[in-house]
């Protein structure tokens, strides 16, 4: 852990004078700094060691230093002054020690799934802090400069509740998806003004000019508390890219408890996904009444031949019972006879197995179960970052099919092989829907949405846009394509106008508008 460079280590022997905030704060928006001040033994200048406090890493996790020395304490060269992130008393500490039982449990740990006790959640054993950074830039555009402001057109007062007078969210605000973080307006293209608009422009001047809302909002599926706001502007002599007048960075922190769907792993590549979190009282328990924290499937051991996890279970139980620390290097670990001897010394069963009872019924299980302490980690693959569902959203400009991926609020790709699966079942109507109105039949999807809103049960599927794209590509190769109906009449592929659906349907599925959105 010392070699990671994340800890703060004394450069010389000396005495800790103080752990305090420095007298002068350099920048206006800087987070308060805490420093450890050390005075050398032989006299000379004091050295100030600044601590990182709750800063964001590039992975969105939290970097934090904790001082492990006290004022007046004497330190030698190389002694630890402060622990870094995932470091405890100078040792790497990425996970937690939990009481494990290797047994199947009602199918909940089938295929490497993990059964977890509620105690682990309640006591925050696997709770992590995540800090996300969001950025908004006010640029110079051809039609005029963008402006960061609280005065946003067509936005209710309730949506502005977290903004200060500048239009920037205040620190400490609790925000959900869709909330405004930075209010910003962008000039729109000047259109031909009517007589009434010219009169309004003459009376109110610039206020009536055409602007659109381009505010920074909390992305889909995100939430948290604003912990820091940084404002950079040309007026303050900050370095900004060409054409940028002002830039705002907002940092949002959230605490994430472990939940079903999160990924965990041990030290031996024994990874799995949490399938269920059970109340502690329903978990299998030891003869002394202690419920286990985690239940792993024994079938995860033999075929993979990673027996290290079983040996770790035994040795961990010994260390926990005797209250000692044990170090077993990778290729020079404790052999089996040593482990048996240590189990005897701790007064534990030499085979490492005990008879557990079912927490729900109190009945004893038929066979003895391997129980012990194991070191488990929570991995960065969190279900909250992966879960995604789409209603209607942006479409690709060329193919007019929904975009893909969570970042674009896209749809699930229904590929060639999935189509074969539906063909095998003869699911003709589902297939037609997926290949037309749920994808790139522009007119059909507007009509389908209208039918849902009005309560009709009709599906009018048209020609998918991908077919038109194919025709255009063939025409680009100088091949004239004629489309004939069943009775040999030619069908002309005209650019059909999308029917004017009243906006009170609450959504616009028009091609141009959504194309623009996806291009941004």
Place of tokens 């239009």: 167
Residues contacting 486, CB < 8 A, separation 6+: none
pLDDT for position 196: 78
Helix (H, G, I), strand (E, B) or coil at 430: helix
Helix (H) or strand (E) holding 63: strand 62-63
267, two tokens: 């030290």
Write b or e for each residue in 88-104: b if 16 or more Cβ atoms lie within 10 A of its Cβ, otherwise e: eeeeeeebbebbbbbbe
CB 63 within 8 A of CB 341: no
pLDDT, residue 327, reads 92
pLDDT of residue 460: 82
Beta-bridge partners for 100: 294, 372
Distance CA 381, CA 265 (A): 11
Taking alpha carbons only, the member of 340, 295, 270, 365 closest to residue 98 is: 295
- 273: helix, strand or coil: strand
β-pair partners for 114: 274
Residue 495, pLDDT score: 59
| Residue 476: per-residue pLDDT | 95
Residue ranges of the alpha helices (H) in 114-182? 118-122
- The predicted model scores a pTM of 0.80
Q: Half-sphere exposure (CA, 13 Å, Cβ side) for 226? A: 25
Listed as ranges, residues in the chain with pLDDT below 50 are 25-29, 497-504, 510-520
Distance between CA 359 and CA 135 in Å, rounded?
50
* Nearest-angstrom CA–CA distance, 232 and 237: 8
Give the closest residue to 278 by CA, choosing from 291, 297, 263, 289: 291
Task: Note the pLDDT of residue 511.
Answer: 41
| Phi, then psi, of 271 in degrees rounded to 5 | -95, 155
- Structural domains in the chain? 2-92 (2.40.50.100), 96-127+260-378 (2.40.270.10), 129-256 (2.40.50.150), 390-519 (3.90.1800)
pLDDT on residue 28: 43
Q: What percent of the chain has pLDDT over 90?
A: 65
Residue 252, CA distances (Å) to 84, 125, 214, 222, 326 in order:
21, 22, 20, 9, 40
Predicted confidence at residue 407, as pLDDT, reads 87
């Amino acid at each position: 852990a010392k070699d990671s460079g994340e800890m703060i280590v004394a450069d010389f022997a000396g005495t800790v004078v103080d752990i305090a905030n420095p007298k002068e704060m350099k920048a206006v928006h800087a987070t308060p700094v805490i420093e450890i001040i050390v005075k050398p033994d032989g006299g000379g200048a004091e050295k100030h060691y600044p601590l990182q406090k709750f800063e964001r890493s590039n992975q969105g996790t939290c970097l934090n230093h904790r001082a492990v020395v006290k004022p007046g304490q004497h330190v030698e060269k190389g002694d630890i002054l402060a622990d870094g992130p995932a470091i405890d008393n100078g040792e790497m500490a990425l996970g937690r020690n939990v009481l494990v039982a290797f047994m199947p449990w009602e199918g909940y740990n089938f295929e490497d799934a993990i059964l977890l006790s509620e105690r682990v959640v309640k006591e925050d054993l696997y709770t992590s802090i995540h800090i996300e950074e969001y950025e908004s830039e006010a640029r110079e555009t051809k039609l005029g400069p963008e402006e960061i402001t609280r005065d946003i057109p067509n936005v209710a007062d309730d949506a502005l509740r977290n903004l200060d007078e500048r239009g920037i969210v205040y620190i400490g605000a609790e925000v959900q998806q869709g909330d405004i973080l930075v209010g910003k307006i962008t000039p729109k293209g000047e259109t031909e003004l009517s007589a009434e608009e010219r009169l309004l422009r003459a009376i109110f001047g610039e206020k009536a000019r055409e602007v659109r809302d381009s505010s920074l909002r909390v992305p889909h599926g995100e939430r948290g508390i604003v912990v820091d706001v940084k404002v950079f502007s040309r007026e303050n002599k900050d370095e900004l890219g060409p054409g940028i007048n002002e830039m705002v960075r907002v940092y949002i922190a959230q605490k994430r408890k472990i939940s079903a769907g999160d990924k965990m792993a041990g030290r031996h590549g024994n990874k799995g996904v949490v399938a269920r979190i059970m109340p502690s009282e329903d978990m299998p328990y030891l003869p002394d009444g202690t419920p286990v924290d985690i239940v792993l499937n024994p079938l995860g051991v033999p075929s993979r031949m990673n027996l290290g996890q079983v040996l770790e279970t035994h040795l961990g139980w010994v260390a926990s019972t005797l209250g000692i620390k044990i170090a077993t290097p990778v290729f020079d670990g404790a052999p089996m006879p040593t482990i048996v001897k240590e189990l005897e010394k701790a007064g534990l069963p030499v085979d490492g197995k005990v008879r557990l009872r079912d927490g729900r019924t109190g009945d004893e299980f038929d066979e003895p179960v391997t129980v012990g302490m194991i070191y488990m980690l929570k991995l960065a693959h969190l279900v909250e970052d992966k879960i995604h569902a789409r209603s209607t959203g942006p479409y690709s400009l060329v193919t007019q099919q929904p975009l893909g991926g969570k970042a674009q609020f896209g749809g699930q790709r229904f590929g060639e092989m999935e189509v074969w699966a539906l063909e095998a079942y003869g699911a003709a109507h589902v297939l037609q829907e997926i290949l037309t109105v749920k994808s790139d039949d522009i007119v059909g999807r507007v009509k389908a949405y209208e039918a849902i809103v009005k309560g009709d049960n009709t599906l009018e599927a048209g020609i998918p846009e991908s077919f038109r794209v194919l025709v255009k590509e063939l025409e680009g190769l100088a091949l004239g394509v004629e489309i004939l109906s069943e009775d040999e009449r030619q069908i002309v592929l005209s650019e059909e106008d999308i029917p004017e659906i009243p906006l009170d349907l609450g959504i616009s599925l028009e091609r141009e508008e959504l194309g623009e959105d996806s291009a941004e």
